[in-house]
Amino acid sequence: MAQFKLVVSDTKGKTIAQELKDRAAQPLLGSRIGSVIDSSVIGVAGGKLKITGGSDKSGTPMRADVHGGVKKYILISTGIGNRSEARVRKLVRGNMITEEIYQLNCMLIEGALPEKQVEAAAPEASAEPAKKKK
């Protein structure tokens, strides 16, 4: 089944990362870069998410101008996948979300991110073991 690491940022610069598995990841399959989906996938009611990019398990970046969910070698002069000014042939993945995608980058365009999702786990980790008096 599908499993994604979802990195969601908002307009204020706040970012959260979540892992979606199986049924929670199903609504994302088949969408494309630039699609707007409901934010209930990450637990934010009444908001919208815009898919801005991603990569597959080997780190190959997704590009919005390559159609489908395939890997292709394309000639790139600038932009995603090329850091130099020279034209280079690079391997990139298409704009469709398939089961091979590992990480998805999203922007929250409506709604607000939850304050802290690991709030309950933080006090347990910082608690020191009790010391016995002799």
Q: What is the pLDDT of residues 28-66, one digit of tens each?
A: 889 999 999 888 877 777 788 899 999 999 999 999 989
Residue 112's pLDDT is 72
Residue 87's pLDDT is 84
What's the whole-number average pLDDT of the chain? 80
Q: Which residues pair with 73 in a beta bridge?
A: 91
pTM of the model: 0.74
